[in-house]
Structure 1
């Protein structure tokens, strides 16, 4: 039975570990074996549990590292402005201490896709492939300008988490998102590596996004798929903003193709 055919279920995450970096301690999980290693970038305010439905199947694709950015659950509070440079420096340090060597396959969900995009531009020699999962585009102004109250309401409804779990991370990343966009726009070109973009096919509630904003966002998703000449654009037709929860088989099948191409 292939990954696409397996029923939805929540898997068991590996034991959570904690590592001290120069900017503070970070929580992470690491499991699986093989190269290239896969690095998961959560969306803003989303913890490690947001990847749970991909486990344990994702471990068969290679070594996998998932982590909580500063301000999320057991990771330390953000060390000042949570810029893209801070996020990427911290994960590169974490990967080094964890014994995972580049090049990596980067998987970025939502705002995590913006960080994965920046990582690939700043360190192209360390990237074997990129999966952008309902990823934020630098031009997604309606998404980027959503206030914390809207995002908090959305996360409470989708993730069923108490606000204290994600409040510090969400505040830090909303505060810095304009800076991160400028970092992406000022970085080098996106490398010509294998790229997959997964877009949810189910429209979001109107209180999150309406009409013209939704069409602009879909155009931006197609634009992301043009970042590399070696790309695939997949529409997860039964999913909204969290295909890794609603259609984990689609995500795993796409990631498997990407890993093979990257290897």
Structure 2
């Protein structure tokens, strides 16, 4: 992860056009043609009391918006926009691709905690508006980013046409907390031993985020959603947890139209492990959305 930087000024936007390589290319009849030049939008954008960093590249509709996982520590390996790995280059060949750092992450500005899925959704709404990234959107949510994607889609049903979730969090997981001893469950509080938000780099209250997603569940839009489940599974818990998990996941998926769960040979960090599969599944979601 790039070291978080202090950002100043109201709005800094850098728009760069990538030039075509070399001279005009030749088409089949020998005539010179210039390949389309994809635009890159990169900068920091004022979303109220802080700024968010975002990079978009490619062109075409819908725009794929990548939502990264939870940033636990300020470390180069932690989740941020760069966690998308090679996906921007692959997806931007046919579609516009945007990835951003949430508040307190990467090159985005600092804010006080606790944060939640609702506050992150509000930030993303403002970011896309200020940066003039027009809908429709297909959301690509990885791990914790899936929770934010789910709430965003519920709050913006006319703007989101589909979702692809990568071994992501989902609201029905809260029903599985009863399998854990009470002191190991997600809990509110600054210094909770499991989810104390003050101890995370992102200052994210995980329980509040899951509760936000639960509240939004009855407003789930009727859009296509594909969930890629890691194999071997990344979830773990006592007693009947492992058996109950797939049932809760199927219940979550059933609220979408259609909602599909696919088990894929990958670890939790799918962006680097199976990029080609992710691109293929995105294309299927877009085709389903029409």
Q: Which has the higher contact order (CA 8 A, sep 6+)?
A: 1
Q: Indicate how the Cα distance of structure 1 residues 226 and 44 shifts in structure 2: closer, same or farther if over 3 A, else same.
A: same
Specify the alignment match of 2:108 in structure 1: 75
Distance 1:43 1:113 in 2: 8
TM-score where L is the length of structure 2: 0.71
After TM superposition, list the pairs within 5 Å mapping 1:26-105 onto structure 2: 26-45=52-71, 46-105=79-138
Note the aligned Cα RMSD (angstroms).
Answer: 2.7
Number of matched residues? 229
> Does the CA contact (< 8 Å) of 1:137 and 1:220 recur in 2?
no
Correspondence list, 1:138-217, <5 A: 138-140=171-173, 141=177, 145=186, 167-169=200-202, 172-173=203-204, 176-187=205-216, 188-204=218-234, 209=237, 212-217=240-245
Please tell me whether residue 249 in structure 1 is matched to residue 263 in structure 2.
Answer: no
Q: Which runs of 5 or more structure 1 residues have no equivalent in the other structure? A: 1-13, 152-165
Asked whether the equivalents of residues 28 and 67 of structure 1 are also in contact (C-alpha less than 8 Å), the reply is yes
Q: Give the distance between the partners of 1:193 and 1:114, measured in 2 at CA.
A: 16
Residue correspondence of structure 1 range 103-118 to structure 2 within 5 A = 103-118=136-151
| Distance in 1, Cα, partners of 2:255 & 2:130 | 31
Structure 2 gap segments, 5+ residues each: 1-39, 72-78
| Paired residue secondary structure (1:56) | helix
> How high is the TM-score relative to the length of structure 1?
0.77
Between structures 1 and 2, the one with greater helix share: 1
Query: Cα 1:210–1:78, aligned 2, differ >3 Å: closer, same or farther?
Result: farther
CA-CA distance at 1:62 after TM superposition: 1.4
